[in-house]
Amino acid sequence: MTSASLSPAQLRALAFRTFGARTDLQAALNTLGFVQADPIRAPARAQDLTLMQRVRGYRAGDLERRYAALDAEEDIIPNYGFVPRRVQALLHPREAPPARIEREHPEILAEVRALLHETGELHPRDATRLIGRGRVGNAWGGQSSATTRALDALHYRGEARVSRREKGVRLYGPAPHLAAMRAAPLPEAERLRGAVQLLAGLYGPLPEASLGYLISLSRFGFPHLHGPLRAAFRQALNEELGSARVDGVRYVWPAGWALEAPIPRGVRIVGPFDPLVWDRRRFTHLHGWTYRFEAYTPPAKRTLGYYALPVFQAERAVGWANLSVQDGELKADLGFLPGVRRTAALDRAMNAELDRYRAFLGLEA
């Protein structure tokens, strides 16, 4: 592990490394390697909020609309989201214990598999109609159709892929490219090293403990390689990652990064799952306050709001914004930290960012 000397300000600037001149959608996916997904729209889904900050002229829903023409797949590492196929090659073949639907209803899994290959593309609703089975409990105690659970299991195992979405609902198809990965997988060492480098590069610079936490979460993406992945992480700490101790916290990142990052300008309002704010340990240390995602917090206990988006001025997180569309207009409920001065420059930059959101949401008029 190579060691460097960095200040908190330099770390904050370095955390913006996935930002820069906006590019096209495929290039942004390739650069990030993973874009976390979330179904809540406030004012847009998490994947759209991440991409609008990095893609020229991006509009909410562009990823879903253009997905079939992109080098993009839905998968999990360490959370659910979108990856280019070069990253998916790190995840498969995925060997996992049988899911509940496989144990309790193996005949449904076989029928859905056959139907998937017969139709070429399958909506969960149509699978339920054609097979006509009952329902099974999901992991949260509710009810999901057995056929939908079967499609999810086939997708996780690499026997199916998400071919596209229809009004947010996943449609599934066969996955010949994953069959090819099973037949000729990357060497295990390459898969493990690639996963560590991906996470360190996407979310870095990170506290060493946070990267370790990400590696532990990746057991969902690498269920049978979790032990070797942890070993690869320890090896990377010794051989392949740069580091610096800042205020007693050891930060790590891929070796070879240029550490003199420019200070960003203007105002950015980013999503709660953006790589810039994903790690709350880093956020609290570098910005001096605690950002919380409170969508699942009872309303009476919320301090920032249902879907508060962190607000950055230059490289500092100075507040939060709850954005919504009401009667065709963007409404912004803004909060700022004590001591933050609402200067004319801050207001101009904030208005420019809100105008970008209006364009993103199709509210130019």
Residues of the chain with CATH 1.10.10.10: 100-183
Mean per-residue pLDDT for 120-145? 70
Cβ atoms < 10 Å from Cβ of 102: 18
Instruction: State the pLDDT confidence band at 248, using cuts at 50, 70 and 90.
Output: very high
Mean per-residue pLDDT for 178-192? 96
Phi and psi at 361, nearest 5°, equal: -90, 0
**Dihedral (Cα; 353, 168, 86, 174), 10-degree rounding:** -170
Alpha carbons 345 and 336: distance in angstroms, whole number = 15
pLDDT surpasses 60 at 139: no
Q: Tell me, what's the pLDDT at 143?
A: 47
Mean per-residue pLDDT for 142-163? 87
Instruction: State the pLDDT confidence band at 140, using cuts at 50, 70 and 90.
Output: very low
Q: Tell me, what's the pLDDT at 104?
A: 85
Mean per-residue pLDDT for 95-124? 90
Query: Which tokens hold the place of 177?
Result: 């490219």
Q: Tell me, what's the pLDDT at 145?
A: 82
Weakest mean pLDDT among 49-58, 123-132, 158-167, 197-206: 123-132
Alpha carbons 85 and 87: distance in angstroms, whole number = 5
State the chain's mean pLDDT as an integer.
93
- The predicted model scores a pTM of 0.93
Weakest mean pLDDT among 54-58, 143-147, 271-275, 340-344: 143-147
Q: Tell me, what's the pLDDT at 144?
A: 61
Residue keyed to tokens 């057991």: 219
> CB burial class (10 A; 0-12, 13-18, 19+) of residue 140?
exposed
b/e map 271-307, b = 16+ CB within 10 Å: bbbbbbbbbeebbebbbeeebebbeeeeeeeeebbbb
Q: Tell me, what's the pLDDT at 131?
A: 78
Per-residue pLDDT tens digits for 10-38: 999 999 999 988 999 999 999 999 999 99
Q: Name residues whose C-beta falls within 8 Å of residue 258's C-beta, 6 or more positions apart in sequence.
A: none
Per-residue pLDDT tens digits for 303-332: 999 999 999 999 999 999 999 999 999 999
Q: Tell me, what's the pLDDT at 66?
A: 97
What residue type is assigned to position 199 of the chain? L
pLDDT surpasses 80 at 133: no
Per-residue pLDDT tens digits for 93-104: 999 899 888 888
Class of domain 100-183: mainly alpha
Q: Any alpha helices (H) in the chain, and if so which ranges?
A: 8-14, 25-32, 46-52, 62-66, 85-91, 100-104, 106-119, 124-131, 146-157, 176-183, 188-203, 208-217, 226-239, 280-287, 344-360
Q: Are strands 80-83 and 35-36 parallel, antiparallel or unpaired?
A: antiparallel
pLDDT surpasses 50 at 356: yes
Alpha carbons 83 and 29: distance in angstroms, whole number = 7
Mean per-residue pLDDT for 76-96? 95
Q: Are strands 2-3 and 241-246 parallel, antiparallel or unpaired?
A: parallel
pLDDT surpasses 80 at 136: no
Alpha carbons 200 and 206: distance in angstroms, whole number = 7
pLDDT surpasses 50 at 85: yes
pLDDT surpasses 50 at 142: no
Alpha carbons 230 and 225: distance in angstroms, whole number = 9
